[in-house]
């Protein structure tokens, strides 16, 4: 039975991510398999949201096709997931959500409403009405500072502030390295969810000017409860393998926080869509823009329109 690509995928039912490196990835029936010195490991790609492909991976064309056919986003990244190189296209073929995002982003008043809702999502117990954007940003700074302090106290890891230089990775202490790795993983999961829902990663509201701006917007909703906690937990548990401990801790925190269930719901609320993104359906054939008259049906010959 052919898959109906008109229907947006149900992210809530998916696993978050899998990171692979130094292995061969091949097609295995309708799924894929990872081959390395330990043997063959099947990957349940139909249940995955994002496959992070690290250094030393050889992947076949058939495996990439299987990944895409199963609605999983493939992301090519550097060691420790610290660098992003490229990604595959998401499953949906609808542009409805993208057009909505563009309208909200380009309208100054609607843009500001979205920004306020993004901050309100983080301050459920604080009334932000009447506060300026600068005051709300100040509250966000306090919230994040407190998140670092609490995680440091919970896991007994000293914290002296965020300090990380991408050009000199080894100059950072383990906790800053762990936070960078955990955030990179969170960005990848958010990116996969955003693309799968049919939104653009580049049309940001709080962040702007980068192709990942909207990813940073959405990831910031969850950092305090997920990637920051995972980073401190990983440093506490690491025994010479910080990379692996960060990935394990991220999977645990993402599952605990039900991040893939929250992302579609939060975007729906932030954009005030009125209908759940995951339930949207669209005709297979696109429409044609018709100026002041709006749009007309596509996929047909309009020679008969000539007078």
Computed on alpha carbons and rounded to an integer, the radius of gyration of the chain in Å comes to 21
CB 86 within 8 A of CB 76: yes
Residues of the chain with CATH 1.20.120.920: 96-276
| Cα-Cα-Cα-Cα dihedral sign, residues 189, 183, 245, 53 | positive
pLDDT in tens, 100-121: 999 999 999 999 999 989 998 8
Close Cβ partners of 92 (under 8 Å, ≥ 6 residues apart): 5, 8, 9, 196, 197, 198
Q: Is 49 helix (H, G, I), strand (E, B) or coil?
A: strand
Quickly tell me which residue has 């920004």 as its tokens.
115
Count of all residues that appear for the chain in the document: 307
Close Cβ partners of 152 (under 8 Å, ≥ 6 residues apart): 158, 159, 232
Q: What is the pLDDT of residue 186?
A: 94
Q: Is 139 helix (H, G, I), strand (E, B) or coil?
A: helix
Q: What is the pLDDT of residue 279?
A: 47
Q: What is the pLDDT of residue 14?
A: 59
CB 143 within 8 A of CB 44: no
Q: What is the pLDDT of residue 168?
A: 67
On average, the pLDDT of the chain sits at 83
CB 236 within 8 A of CB 156: yes
The CATH class of the 11-87 domain is: alpha beta
Among the ranges given (3-17, 43-57, 188-202), the one the predictor scored with the smallest mean pLDDT: 3-17
How far, in Å, CA of 70 to CA of 192, rounded?
Answer: 13
Percentage of the chain beyond pLDDT 90 is 43
Residues of the chain with CATH 3.100.10.20: 11-87
pLDDT in tens, 30-61: 889 999 999 999 998 888 878 889 889 999 99
Which pair of tokens denotes residue 52? 């992070």
> What is the mean predicted confidence (pLDDT) over 157-165?
85
How far, in Å, CA of 234 to CA of 245, rounded?
Answer: 5
Instruction: Identify the helix (H) or strand (E) that includes residue 196.
Output: helix 174-196
Residue 116: phi, psi to the nearest 5?
Answer: -65, -40
CB 206 within 8 A of CB 217: yes
> What is the mean predicted confidence (pLDDT) over 10-37?
82
How far, in Å, CA of 254 to CA of 262, rounded?
Answer: 10
Closest CA to 31 of 1, 60, 58, 4: 60
Inform me whether the pLDDT recorded for 69 exceeds 50.
yes
CATH tag, 96-276? 1.20.120.920
Q: What is the pLDDT of residue 295?
A: 67
- Cβ neighbour number for residue 138 with a 10 Å cutoff: 12
Close Cβ partners of 113 (under 8 Å, ≥ 6 residues apart): 104
Q: Helices (H), strands (E): how many in the chain?
A: 9, 10
pLDDT bucket at 215, cuts 50 / 70 / 90: very high
CB 235 within 8 A of CB 178: yes
How far, in Å, CA of 28 to CA of 39, rounded?
Answer: 14
> What is the mean predicted confidence (pLDDT) over 267-271?
94
Q: What is the pLDDT of residue 283?
A: 44
Per DSSP (E only), the strands in 169-294 are 287-289
> What is the mean predicted confidence (pLDDT) over 145-149?
95
pLDDT bucket at 294, cuts 50 / 70 / 90: low
């Amino acid at each position: 039975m052919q898959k109906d690509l008109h229907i947006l995928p149900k992210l809530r039912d998916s696993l978050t991510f899998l990171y692979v490196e130094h292995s061969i990835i091949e097609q295995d029936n309708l799924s894929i398999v990872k081959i390395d010195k330990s043997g063959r490991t099947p990957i349940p790609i139909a249940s995955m949201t994002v496959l992070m492909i690290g250094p030393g991976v050889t992947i076949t064309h058939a495996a990439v096709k299987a990944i895409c056919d199963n609605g999983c986003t493939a992301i090519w990244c550097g060691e420790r997931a610290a660098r992003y190189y490229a990604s595959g296209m998401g499953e949906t073929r609808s542009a409805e959500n993208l057009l909505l995002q563009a309208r909200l982003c380009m309208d100054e008043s609607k843009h500001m409403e979205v920004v306020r809702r993004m901050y309100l999502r983080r301050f459920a117990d604080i009334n932000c009405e009447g506060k300026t954007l600068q005051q709300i940003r100040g509250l966000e700074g306090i919230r994040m500072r407190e998140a670092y302090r609490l995680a440091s106290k919970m896991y007994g890891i000293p914290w002296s502030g965020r300090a990380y230089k991408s050009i000199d990775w080894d100059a950072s202490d383990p906790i800053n390295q762990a936070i960078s790795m955990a955030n990179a993983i969170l960005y990848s999961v958010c990116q996969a969810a955003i693309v799968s829902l049919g939104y653009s990663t580049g049309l940001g509201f709080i962040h702007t000017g980068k192709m990942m701006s909207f990813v940073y917007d959405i990831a910031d909703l969850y950092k305090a409860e997920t990637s920051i906690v995972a980073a401190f937990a990983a440093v506490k548990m690491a025994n010479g393998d910080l990379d692996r401990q960060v990935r394990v801790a991220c999977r645990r925190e993402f599952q605990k926080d039900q991040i893939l269930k929250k992302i579609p719901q939060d975007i729906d609320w932030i954009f005030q869509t009125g209908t759940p993104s995951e339930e949207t359906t669209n005709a297979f054939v696109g429409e044609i823009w018709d100026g002041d008259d709006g749009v007309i049906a596509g996929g047909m010959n309009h020679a008969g329109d000539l007078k």
